Structure 1
């Protein structure tokens, strides 16, 4: 391992304060809320540098970029790529300025600072389990291998992990792209397992409704809910194709078609399938689902938001305005053991793996087209 030379005399912070360039009051601005980060490759003693292989843009961010650069139903992939490049170059990180979200990445550890507590070694293949919205990042290949038509972005460059970051070694038995898709959403099934397990411990097998049940976080959440003791699972999807796929998978006891933005439509659909739900999990990447999800949840129930499109104000004020006695949780992406749980669900539940592999094949075909 090469000797580490500290870039300047700023004192390293385990949460990355020393990497904040704008605003300049870096003693109170964390990297996630900063406008610009220092993405130089030189390390402070507790940092780790990752050689980037693939970026994974979070679903809400990619949707916003794709919709912005679409005309007549066709995405201008070149324009999407150009905007992502501009964001990274301008901000020193990948943080969509509209959604505020980022994603994650996979790569190979290049260098480890002598005081790093992460337990990583040069040559380790890892996935970062912290958001790109707070990760110093630089790309060197202009993203030339990416057509802008998928969330997964082949890339060359480097990223920096702080002392208080999270990374997981990639499993040897899975395609790295498949592992990346799972780890990108691994916080969702872990929190669902915890919440459903709380009900089960009281002798209650809760009814669990997952909005976006055919997606990555949604399918894992359905599997986690069932494993944790859910009495009934309801998958909510927006289109017929997803309804068929989820019904065939068997991950949900009932599958319904509904627009998650429609208050009466969603609550009626969930009710016909056995609701209202004791636990409602929001895994869709469009705004405007807060009040419909509240109406679909039973009084005294729990509502878990996993979408980066969620508005805290709309959720809080909506619950108040509807006189809804619901516990609302914001999934923060981290639960101890979350990566291991999600990967075990992929390995142990064939239906989950089938959905993920189908999605990966579709994205790969789109990129190759």
Structure 2
């Protein structure tokens, strides 16, 4: 009989493996081939932890809320942006009688479970501590493990803290993989790139085991992340396992490499480079450092592997790339061996982390708080329709290319949600995302708002001057909503900044340089405004490197169902209610036209939850509200169009609505024949009305 791996716990979608599933069943009652673990400590995969911290501004309450949100929605700890999880440590509470994991466990045993938390049902009751150095949370709750889940019971002779042990075991499969790769390539000199000191030590120990006494390991450390620990202390804890240590800025890999190659004391060709963290720039530096026909080992499956391949091709280098592989036979024994050797050093690092924990991350939190001040906090993108799925895949692809983007779509379709997806998945995810609604900026203040001003630049200027939007967004993203409302004069000044990445503050004489990714949005297609002479064509082409069309809700109707239920649940949490939509109510919502798109859907659901007296929202409740909304929207539109106060002209109203319907059908179907079929009209009738209304 095959061993249990959790297929029966998959709720959505049915028939897929647990790591791929959107949601798992967290029922605490164990089934055949399962065991329940009382949670004590979770090591979150490092890239995932960094993304959660960044999007939460390093504020502990927001980090807790974000982790709770992920686990509650998915029934497991799997960050939707990095798609990674972590590993857990806890105490066995209950084991099914037929549980056969290859290691005998029983209630009361403390264990480390080395299966990724992307595969295990998880329920968290409380998070009592967040450790920023290890990327761990101390928590209560439970997890369900399966027969295929590798487990390790702590050895009494291995005197290491739980935090250091769990962090090491989370890397164990990849560490062993690097050992095998170094032997296959007959390596002698290896460079390790990263920012986690304990992780770098683990890979250095692996290289010593693979190569022998003649091994040469160069450590290249991210200077930014470790800028609150003295370099002397870092060198002390990494030596002698790492022979030579350099501190660099990974964000400027080409410039940094030119300096680094002059400073290297070890002159032997670098046979292999190990990239231990998914930091932008490490992949480029790895390609520059490694010899021709050398190897690059990526320890994270969410690394910029493809960028490294392109860089190698550009340099004319043949590079052998190794990808992270969690399950390699023998990795657990190898990890234990490494831990016995490294125990004193890992405890030394653990003590150093503790000595800095009080001040280090407070400083880091303050430094990053402004960077995420304008960034999205709710990064969930709810969808089910294949149209939206294809769009999201395009967005995630575009996010990795640091180019300007135009997001187009009707009001309320979710353009800012697309912005959040781009920001969280781009190399600028830890930098500012400054959001500006151009329609709210007064023309006479636009230049000072965008570029800032010096003291005394004009009457009423602040004494110390003021930074503008471009300076606030430096190294990050500047989002310009309703960019089409900017004057032609302001458009020309914006074009100049995009071309030169430099500008002067109002009243200033010093040229300021910035590095900003501009993403803009507009309800009316910018190409249409260009054709109308309302938008500069040269600015349009500067911005239009990539265009993302966000389809209206009526063109992705499968999303209506999942979004409606999501909004109901959101309201239930807010008001402490237990409302739900009946099948008939969902059908009514599905069939509605939704001129206001997602924003209108959320508003309607919110009103339904409040106005419905029972717990079940029925189709009649939806009908009443939608008819009321439709009437109100129609009257407001008509009054705006005809500028009437009390009396309305019936024939004018009907003609206007007829024109809108025909205009929509022609836009959607592209041809008069298909548009006529959509409206149930003869093609000749539609053609005649099209001519009548000048469409």
Category of TM-score, reference length = shorter chain: 0.7 to 0.9
Which one has a bigger Cα radius of gyration? Answer: 2
Check whether the contact 1:285–1:308 (CA below 8 A) recurs between aligned residues: no
Please point out which of 184, 197, 206 is paired with 1:224: 206
Q: Matches of 1:213 and 1:351 in 2, distance apart?
A: 20
Check whether the contact 1:99–1:309 (CA below 8 A) recurs between aligned residues: yes
- Is 1:236 aligned to residue 223 of structure 2? no
Asked which structure has the greater RCO (Cα within 8 Å, sep 6+), the reply is 1
Which structure is higher in helix share?
Answer: 2
Q: Matches of 2:139 and 2:360 in 1, distance apart?
A: 14
Cα deviations by residue, 1:258-287 (Å, 9 ceiling, x for unpaired): 233433245442574236521110012424
CA RMSD, Structure 1 to Structure 2 (Å): 2.9
Cα deviations by residue, 1:79-132 (Å, 9 ceiling, x for unpaired): 110010011010000111111111111001122223322122222211111111
More deviation in 145-154 or 77-86? Answer: 145-154
| Cα distance change, pair 170–347 in 1 and its aligned pair in 2 (3 A) | same
More deviation in 291-300 or 147-156? Answer: 147-156
Partner of 2:83: 100
More deviation in 52-61 or 245-254? Answer: 245-254
- Is 1:156 aligned to residue 140 of structure 2? yes
The alpha carbon displacement at 1:322 in A equals 3.8
Partner of 1:3: none
Please point out which of 223, 227, 233 is paired with 1:245: 233
Q: Matches of 1:147 and 1:345 in 2, distance apart?
A: 26
Partner of 1:179: 165
Check whether the contact 1:12–1:18 (CA below 8 A) recurs between aligned residues: no
Q: Matches of 1:259 and 1:178 in 2, distance apart?
A: 27
The alpha carbon displacement at 1:251 in A equals 1.8
Check whether the contact 1:186–1:217 (CA below 8 A) recurs between aligned residues: no
Q: What's the TM-score once normalised by structure 2's chain length?
A: 0.46
Partner of 1:18: 8
The alpha carbon displacement at 1:54 in A equals 1.2
Please point out which of 227, 239, 254 is paired with 1:264: 254
Partner of 2:587: none
Check whether the contact 1:256–1:270 (CA below 8 A) recurs between aligned residues: no
Q: Matches of 1:327 and 1:178 in 2, distance apart?
A: 31
The alpha carbon displacement at 1:23 in A equals 1.6
**SS at the partner of 2:129?**
coil
Q: Matches of 2:97 and 2:296 in 1, distance apart?
A: 43
Which structure is higher in strand share?
Answer: 1
Structure 1 gap ranges (5+): 1-10
Partner of 1:140: 125
**SS at the partner of 2:294?**
strand
Please point out which of 3, 6, 27 is paired with 1:40: 27
The alpha carbon displacement at 1:170 in A equals 1.9
Check whether the contact 1:81–1:146 (CA below 8 A) recurs between aligned residues: no
| Cα distance change, pair 177–317 in 1 and its aligned pair in 2 (3 A) | same
| Cα distance change, pair 363–60 in 1 and its aligned pair in 2 (3 A) | farther
Q: Matches of 1:97 and 1:328 in 2, distance apart?
A: 26
Structure 2 gap ranges (5+): 363-695
Q: What's the TM-score once normalised by structure 1's chain length?
A: 0.83
| Cα distance change, pair 167–237 in 1 and its aligned pair in 2 (3 A) | same
| Cα distance change, pair 256–310 in 1 and its aligned pair in 2 (3 A) | same
